[in-house]
Structure 1
Amino acid sequence: MGIFDAFNPYSFCGFLANLNGASPEGLIPDGHIPSVADRIPATRKVILTEFVPVLALLYTLAVLVQLPSTRVLRLSVLVAMGMLAWRVSTRHDFNGSDEPGYNWISMTVCWVMTFQMLRATDFATTTKPFVRERFSWHPPNAPKDYTTQLKGALLNAFDLTFNARGIGWNWGKGIYIPPISDSARKGPIDFLVGHVIMQTFFDFIMFAQQSWDLSPSKYPTHRHGGTIFDPDLPPLWRYGKVIAITAICPFVIYTSFQASYYLMGFIAMTLFGQVAEQWPPLFQAPWLATSLSDFWGMRWHQLFKRPFIVCGAKPAARFFGRAGGVLGVFFISGVMHDLGVWGAGIGTEPSSVTLFFLMMGVGCVLEGIWREKTGSKVQGPWGWLWSMVWWVFWGSWLVDAWARRGLTTSKMSADVARPALYWVHVVQRWVELHGQPFK
């Protein structure tokens, strides 16, 4: 089946009508929407006729959003893209193997499809054209309105499709970009070295996360997963283990994103002539955050900020004010991550995944109330402690949901490409030569 098979009004309308209905799949209803068990393996044909067209439709929106008087056409493209993205996410299994550790691939596909639909909604509904104010591709003697003409829009749409922070675009001015320090990486070789370093750190941190034993759970659990809450341990050790596993997880995400970002920056500079200024830092030492607002608003990556504001903050703020807008951002974030989790195999889990992000919003609202009542921001050592306690407490629910789906044991690299496993061989050899230490 190809692109035209996605235009099934029964599947699309059934999803909208039953989104909040209870079912074994969590947020994902039964009926016309297939269960995870009914997915069929994705083939090369599926990738070419369904997955790639989703990106092509996003590119089409990226072209149209630069041109005047295209809103009706953009909304039509949005509907088509939504139907196809839903089909790609729910009908096909992208894992490529039944062995444990590969369900992160289908999870990533579901997550990416959801995020691109949020971006597409932004592209389709905005009332002002997007304008590329810096780094635009155009001939030396091009007219001033070249970027709003079709040819200029076609060229700049390639950047817009992958530029989640709006760097160089008029719509990106409200997104915080960490400053470029003197020690920042400034060339393709620097970015390649950064990728290798971050990929190595990622593998060792992932190895540390995978070294913990997981326990059987009374909650829905993938056959390759388990809970981080070990009922056989004394309370002190049990929750110490939970805190350790939860604390490791953001470093896995941080190094993974950084490694991918450096690699994409290297490719963009090498093949497409981009400069380091178009690839500013992605994070700003998130472990130094002294409040939840500081963590989520500045120090963590801001790749998702614009669509979360458009799809979450603005609608919620219209009815519930500023606090509602904050909660709306985190609610949309939770839904996006929850739909991604569905792809891992046993349905969504709003009571853990969406709840984590929603409670991050609650924490930010509480910080705002504190500032109004006391006249001072949450900051300093006590602010850091507050942020870490709040994050780890609610984060343990999120990490447990991932662990029960087997995601903490994901195989994201072949064993032969894992430096941590080579180090294990070194340690094993040392033990063979010198015996067990700490006897």
Structure 2
Amino acid sequence: MLQYIGKELRITVHRVLWELLPPPQYRKPLTWRNVPNAFAYLIPFCFMAYLVRRRETRIIRLLVLPTVIVMAIRGTFSYDWFDPRFSFFTWVRGLFGLTIMGMSIDYALVKNGRFKIGENTLPALHESPPVSTGSSDGIEQNAQSIFPTWLVDVVEVCSALRGFGWDIGRGVHVPTDPRPLDRELFIKATMLTFVKHFLILDFLETIIKFIPGIGTPAGGSIFYASLPLAPRILVSTSIVLLSAALMISGFETIYAAITIVAVQYLGHPPSAWPPLMDNPWAADSLSDFWAKRWHQALRRSFLVFGGIPGGWIAGRVGVVLGAFLASGMFHECGTYLLGRGFDHRVTVFFAVQGIFVVLERVWKKWMHGITED
């Protein structure tokens, strides 16, 4: 009897996994007709974002969480464009779904809800959050928006990935913003940023497309075996630097566009949208690069997926190692959508970053002790 039950359970689990995570060749073609199905998980997710801004809703959030997770997995991994030209968008769609999962877990587990700095209580389930145009603890609040208050609040909590002005954002590095904080001038400056990085992105993408064996949908190696060692290293390093610059401009372009919409149409204060990065090229250490210079948009997700559980096991070191391990798995799971299987060299790369960040801190403490002696 037990053997029969075990067999039935294995069959059931296999069928569920097949439905949620089918092999690449069995995914459904993503079309305009079924796009709503692929992104239907955003509906319960937005409901959770609404609930996390209401008091005494933790039980409801915990009950909604499995629905969001299952729908997000199915919507993300059950559809595919099956066109190499859309590989980048397929990868982004995978990362987006994984980010929604991380945010949903965060919303579900936070005990009392998500607070802005200066807030002491949250409205009841049926109440709308107050919108003030003043400031609280130095954080400017929302201006009047053309959209309903509850919708603005939902969008705001969903877009607070770095946590600026929120309880989860304490201690997060805020890049210095050269733009004026006057709303109209801020939007104009952000539009110029958008145009600048869009042109840079387009220029760099064009260059990379002309690199033999690289600028194709199938991709290729950056190491040309036909070249001698020195030129081969020079070429591969140049490609890496071009790709890094392209990635930064791509992030900046998208972020500038979202910033304009949030400030102009949703009434978000300019202070809630500081620069995405703090000149990554100026980093002088791994800690400086990952904690300050590089964007912190996924910081909370990595903490939820790996940093917080790692902290339970090994304290502060566990937080660092767990967050970087989660970062590696996050990027690799997004790449899995491309139908090339798992390549855990990506996971190892990010995990090793965490190890070296810890060793870097140990080295600094050791050198500080020698200096004091």
Deviations along 1:268-296, one digit per CA (max 9) or x if unpaired, are: 22222333212111111110000000000
Equivalence for 2:56: 69
* TM-aligned CA distance change 1:38 to 1:70, over 3 Å: same
| Whole-Å separation in 1 of the counterparts to 2:254 and 2:208 | 20
**1:91 and 2:78 aligned:** yes
Q: Distance in 1 between matches of 2:166 and 2:361?
A: 30
Aligned to 1:107: 91
Contact 1:229 / 1:239 at 8 angstroms: preserved in 2?
yes
Q: 2:27 aligned with 1:39, yes or no?
A: yes
1:225 to 213, 219, 222: 219
- Shift, 1:106, TM fit: 1.4
1:78 maps to amino acid: L
Any idea what SS the aligned residue of 1:187 has? helix
The CA distance in 2 between the partners of 1:30 and 1:129, in whole Å, is 35
**Alignment-derived partner of residue 119 in structure 1:** 103
Shift in Å at residue 31 of structure 1? 9.0
In the other structure, the counterpart of 2:338 is: 344
- Paired with 2:37 and 2:201, the residues of 1 have a C-alpha distance of 33
Letter in 2 for 1:69: E
* Cα-Cα RMSD: 2.9
Deviates more, 1:277-286 or 1:205-214: 205-214
1:236-315 maps to which residues of 2 (within 5 A)?
A: 236-315=230-309
Superposed CA offset, 1:175-218 (max 9, x none): 22112236689422222221111100111122233332228xxx
Alignment of 1:171 with 2:171, yes or no, is: no
CA gap of 1:175–1:148, structure 2 versus 1, over 3 A, is farther
TM-score under structure 1 length normalisation: 0.70
Instruction: Identify unmatched segments of 5+ residues in structure 1.
Output: 1-8, 17-28, 137-143, 216-221, 378-439
How far apart in 1 are the matches of 2:124 and 2:10? 38
Matches within 5 A, 1:310-321: 310-321=304-315
The alignment partner of 1:269 has SS state of helix
In the alignment, is residue 160 of structure 1 matched against residue 154 of structure 2? no
CA drift at 1:12: 9.9
2:196 corresponds in structure 1 to 197
Matched residue, 1:139: none
Change (3 A) 1:300 1:12: farther
Deviation of residue 229 (structure 1)?
2.0
- Aligned partner of 2:115 in structure 1 is 131
Question: Which amino acid in 2 is paired with 1:150?
Answer: H
Q: Mark the CA change 1:301 to 1:15 in structure 2 (over 3 Å): closer, same or farther.
A: farther
Distance 1:228 1:315, change over 3 A: same
TM-score, scaled relative to structure 2: 0.82
- Give the AA of the match of 1:169: W
Q: Could you say what secondary structure the match of 1:302 adopts?
A: coil
CA distance in 1, matches of 2:311, 2:33: 43
Which deviations, in whole Å up to 9, do the C-alpha atoms of 1:344-378 show, x marking residues without a partner? 2312211x21111111112201101101211189x
Pairwise CA distance, 1:168 = 2.5
Q: Which residue of 2 aligns with 1:4?
A: none
- Identity percentage over the alignment? 27
> 2:55, 2:125 within 8 Å by CA — same for their partners in 1?
no
* Deviation sequence 1:37-92 (CA, Å, 0-9, x none): 222211233222340x2112221111122223322321221111111111112111
The one-letter code of the counterpart of 2:108 is A
Structure 1 residue 312 displacement after superposition: 1.2
- Residue 308 of structure 1 contacts residue 329 of structure 1 at CA under 8 Å; is this kept in 2? yes
Aligned counterpart for 1:356 among listed residues 341, 349, 357: 349
SS in 2 for 1:348: coil
User: Equivalences for 1:381-396 in 2 at 5 Å?
Assistant: none
Could you tell me which residue of structure 1 aligns to residue 36 of structure 2?
48
Aligned counterpart, 1:430: none
User: Per-residue deviation at 1:227?
Assistant: 1.3
The change in CA–CA distance for 1:376 and 1:13 in structure 2 (over 3 A counts) is farther
Question: Structure 1 residues 148 and 177, CA, compared in 2 at 3 Å: closer, same or farther?
Answer: farther
Residues 177 and 280 in structure 1, CA contact (< 8 A), matched pair in contact too:
yes
Deviates more, 1:71-80 or 1:258-267: 71-80
Unaligned segments of structure 2, at least 5 residues: 1-8, 130-149
The letter of the residue matching 1:62 is: A
Shift in Å, 1:133 = 3.8
Structure 2 counterpart of 1:276, one-letter code: P
Describe the shift of the 1:360–1:234 C-alpha distance in structure 2 as closer, same or farther (beyond 3 A).
Answer: same
**AA in 1 matched with 2:279:** A
Cα separation, 1, equivalents of 2:81 and 2:218 = 17
Does structure 1 conserve the Cα–Cα contact (< 8 Å) formed by 2:201 and 2:250?
yes
Cα separation, partners in 2 of 1:210 and 1:181, compared to 1, 3 Å: same
Paired residue for 1:366, among 347, 356, 359? Answer: 359
Aligned residues: 338
Deviations 1:129-188 (A, max 9, x none): 212347x9xxxxxxx856455332534122112221223322222322112236689422
Q: Partners in 2 of 1:89 and 1:315 — Cα distance? A: 25
SS of the aligned residue for 2:199 comes to helix
